[in-house]
């Protein structure tokens, strides 16, 4: 899966359907056919030509997470100041990556472990020293994204209303878009740790025009992270198109900002090759 930015060799294979039957093709063969570009020798990075990416997204229309990727470059670089869609874009991007790890674990030999580190899941970001090596169990099912009407404030002992007119407790292995106007966090995901404990990833999204000169400093990021003090097992993820000036992220924080956007979004960044 190219959007996971995993290194591959030209002899590694990936499954596909040929006339209704399962088959395998090598990455080197895909490069020969012009579908992808591999950079490197024994370990290669995958680059996706724009036309291939458009075909891939069209083919995957039945997978809801892919809908948001049509607008990836515009959302990241031109920032139409649509904060709700910016939040949804990033939450669907998280769900897509988690679901892709499930696919690779179940269908290929590229992943042999049943867990992934946050350093792998948020590759390209900057990490506090207590979170980079935290590991999550790779989910067994596709990860849904559910939008709440109610605002989740860290309490899992009550039920919350959803936009589809249902209600329920906050579940593990679901990405949630928090209720409108939420002050706690824009979106969150309770994964399973290596000892089956719940691990909270709480994402806060701040969208600005890519040409903006806005700068977040340590006090600004601390203010956002302090909203999570009531919740245990927390990892704070701050994603912005602006610059962030601080020496290192806080111990339990992951930071994505203008300087690392290309590395974080990978093939969805500047899709012009």
Q: What is the pLDDT of residues 110-169, one digit of tens each?
A: 778 899 999 989 988 999 999 988 999 999 888 888 999 988 888 888 899 998 888 999
**Which tens digits make up the pLDDT trace of 38-73?**
877 888 877 665 455 555 545 444 445 555 555 565
Beta bridge partners, 162, equal: 148
Structure tokens at 79: 């920032």
**Which tens digits make up the pLDDT trace of 234-243?**
799 999 989 9
For the chain, give every domain's residue range: 1-59, 61-268
Rounded Cα distance, 86 and 89, in Å: 5
**Which tens digits make up the pLDDT trace of 85-103?**
788 888 988 988 888 888 7
**pLDDT score recorded for residue 176:** 94
**Which tens digits make up the pLDDT trace of 25-40?**
888 888 887 777 787 7
Residue 88 parent element (H or E): helix 83-107
**pLDDT score recorded for residue 4:** 59
Rounded Cα distance, 205 and 217, in Å: 15
Rounded Cα distance, 53 and 62, in Å: 16
Report whether 38 contacts 2 (CB < 8 A).
no
Report whether 173 contacts 143 (CB < 8 A).
yes
Beta bridge partners, 216, equal: 244
pTM for the complete prediction? 0.76
CA neighbor of 38 nearest in space, from 59, 70, 72, 11? 11
Structure tokens at 238: 């701050």
């Amino acid at each position: 899966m190219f959007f996971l930015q995993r290194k591959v060799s030209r002899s590694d294979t990936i499954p596909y359907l040929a006339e209704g039957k399962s088959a395998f093709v090598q990455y080197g063969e895909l490069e020969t056919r012009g579908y992808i570009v591999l950079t490197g020798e024994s370990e290669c990075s995958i680059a996706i030509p724009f036309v291939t990416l458009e075909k891939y997204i069209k083919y995957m229309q039945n997978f809801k997470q892919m809908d948001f990727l049509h607008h990836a470059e515009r959302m990241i670089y031109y920032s139409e100041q649509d904060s709700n869609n910016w939040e949804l874009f990033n939450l669907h991007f998280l769900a897509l990556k988690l679901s892709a790890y499930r696919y690779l674990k179940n269908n290929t030999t590229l992943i042999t472990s049943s867990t992934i580190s946050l350093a792998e899941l948020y590759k390209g970001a900057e990490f506090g020293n207590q979170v980079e090596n935290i590991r999550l169990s790779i989910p067994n099912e596709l990860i849904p994204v559910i939008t709440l009407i109610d605002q989740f404030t860290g309490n899992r002992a009550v039920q919350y209303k959803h936009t589809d007119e249902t209600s329920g407790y906050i579940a593990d292995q679901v990405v949630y878009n928090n209720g409108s106007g939420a002050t706690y966090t824009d979106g969150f995901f309770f994964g399973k740790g290596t000892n089956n404990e719940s691990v909270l990833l709480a994402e806060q999204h701040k969208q600005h025009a890519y040409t903006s000169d806005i700068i977040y400093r340590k006090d600004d990021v601390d203010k956002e992270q302090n909203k999570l003090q009531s919740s245990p097992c927390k990892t704070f993820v701050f994603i912005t198109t602006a610059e962030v000036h601080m020496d290192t992220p806080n111990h339990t924080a992951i930071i994505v900002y203008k300087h690392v956007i290309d590395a974080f979004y990978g093939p969805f960044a500047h899709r012009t090759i």
